[in-house]
Amino acid sequence: MAGSGVPWAGYGYTGSRSRLHGVHRCDVAIVGAGLTGLSTALELVGLDPDLRIAVVEADHVAAGASGRGTGLLGPRIGPRVAVARRRYGDDVARASYLWSVDAVRHVLDLVERHRISCDLTPGGQLVVASDEEGAEAQQREADAARILGLPIALVPAGSLPAVARHYTSGLRYAPAATLDPAALTDQLARLGEQRGVTIFERSVVRGIRRGLLTTVSTDDGALVADHVVVAVNAFGADLKAPAGVVGLRVQAGVTEKLSPEAIEALDGLRAEPLIEHGELSPYFRLTSDGRIVVGGGAVLRGPFGSVAPAPEKLRSAVRRLSPALSEVDIESTWAGPVGMTRDGLPIVGRHPDDPRLYYAGGCNGHGLAASIYHGAHLARWIVDEGADHLSFALPWVRSKAPWVPRGRLVERVLDRYLAHLTAASDRSGGAGRSRNDRWTGQGIHA
């Protein structure tokens, strides 16, 4: 995870995939070798093995969010169900949540079908509230879920597992799992290559020219394609697409190996990760080799750079979790890019004037399942040319997200907002809350 923080500097990569040189003709060109782009490629060759598919990546496979995630695979997309009911109505709120459940199932099936070795551990996901206000919000969410018939279970304080005893309530989400996202991304790339997909690395796409065929240009070469998928997530600004996605960096870390006694004291965390309710709040999962992966607590503007802005927050979050962890240290930390939108929903769709230019991204820090599932949908879209597989009123099927102004002034406003979030998370000892759902709807990560 160590890196220089310099855009496209290679993050210490020593692989051997070649750069894009010269002009290549292909059926589908995919920009970005993260989960979205690689899942699209793999699904495409599964649907039509004769397709010529090329992926072009600025850095290396899994250089973006996909290689730096914390591996919590779970349902939920966009705003909380109670908010989604108000904004979009019951039918859309229900369809959206169930889509996110299908997304998780799709990933579980993908991993099993291809026997992908990524440390996948199925289970639930427990989101916990640390005060009465949080418990009330969880009650409202459980009520909304009950009205819509969604499988979200309220867990009263008395029934929380030992590791979560000091919280006031919980919501349990399923199906869910934990996994190693970097391993999964790497293996999607390899599976694609075994089936004929070409991946170019260290080739920054500088421009996309639309025409009868679309040309994707790098410094030393170009791909000329019938269809182009732009899967650059938080890095979209340079390619001017998709509009409305803002790149931010969030931090994560991993502890040293825990003692058997400490692991024993974390009863509950072995079965499911723990996510504190609220924006920037910490979340934890136990790895199979006995470490805690922890995220949350600080965020920076812009997608570039891999240094965690406030690693001490990660250490104190872990130490607060249980007295058995009071001496535990963080072994390494890192930051990674997330694509945020103002309404908390991602984007998957086509260019308004060019139905063969596709976008997907902006999952607001919760895109492990959604990115992979978006790839599957995009592949079907491309192969069936024009049939809208996602057209049943999901509000994130669109070519852009709500407008986000750009420029110095806005950057300053954004900085202040991020500082406010960080301060809120500090005041509540990690259980940061914000009533402001203009940016994330759901909270960064949880």
Q: Counting contacts by CB under 6 A, is residue 31 touching ligand FAD? A: yes
| Interatomic CA distance for residues 370 and 348, integer angstroms | 10
Number of residues counted as binding ligand FAD (CB under 6 A):
43
Q: Which is nearer to ligand FAD, 163 or 372 (CB)?
A: 372
Q: Which helix (H) or strand (E) holds 223?
A: strand 221-230
Q: Counting contacts by CB under 6 A, is residue 34 touching ligand FAD? A: yes
Give me the residue label for tokens 């018939």: 149
Per-residue three-class SS string for 360-428: EECCCCCCHHHHHHHHHHHHHHHHCCCCCCCCCCCCCECCECCCCCCCHHHHHHHHHHHHHHHHHHHHC
| Interatomic CA distance for residues 71 and 111, integer angstroms | 14
Contact set for ligand FAD, span 37-96 (CB under 6 A): 37, 56-59, 63-66, 68-72
Distance of closest approach, residue 157 Cβ to ligand FAD, in angstroms: 25
| Opening angle at CA 265, ends 261 and 270, nearest 5 | 105
Distance of closest approach, residue 342 Cβ to ligand FAD, in angstroms: 17
Interface mask toward ligand FAD for 221-240; x: CB under 6 A: ----------xxxxx--xx-
Contact set for ligand FAD, span 393-432 (CB under 6 A): none
Distance of closest approach, residue 333 Cβ to ligand FAD, in angstroms: 10
Q: Counting contacts by CB under 6 A, is residue 108 touching ligand FAD? A: no
Distance of closest approach, residue 409 Cβ to ligand FAD, in angstroms: 25
Contact set for ligand FAD, span 150-189 (CB under 6 A): 181
Distance of closest approach, residue 315 Cβ to ligand FAD, in angstroms: 16
Chain centroid to CA 342: how far? 16
Q: Please pick, from the candidates 138, 168, 306, 371, the single residue that binds ligand FAD as defined by CB under 6 A.
A: 371
Q: Counting contacts by CB under 6 A, is residue 366 touching ligand FAD? A: yes
Contact set for ligand FAD, span 327-346 (CB under 6 A): 336-338
Q: Using an 8 Å Cβ cutoff, are 60 and 185 in contact?
A: no
Amino acid at 27: D
Q: Which is nearer to ligand FAD, 135 or 340 (CB)?
A: 340
Q: Which is nearer to ligand FAD, 148 or 232 (CB)?
A: 232
Q: Using an 8 Å Cβ cutoff, are 5 and 35 in contact?
A: no
Distance of closest approach, residue 132 Cβ to ligand FAD, in angstroms: 27
Chain centroid to CA 265: how far? 30
Could you tell me the maximum CA-CA distance found in the chain, to the nearest angstrom? 65
Closest Cα to residue 189, out of 333, 13, 339?
Answer: 13
| Chain positions contacting ligand FAD, by CB under 6 A | 31-37, 56-59, 63-66, 68-72, 181, 204-205, 231-235, 238-239, 250, 252, 295, 336-338, 361, 363, 365-368, 371
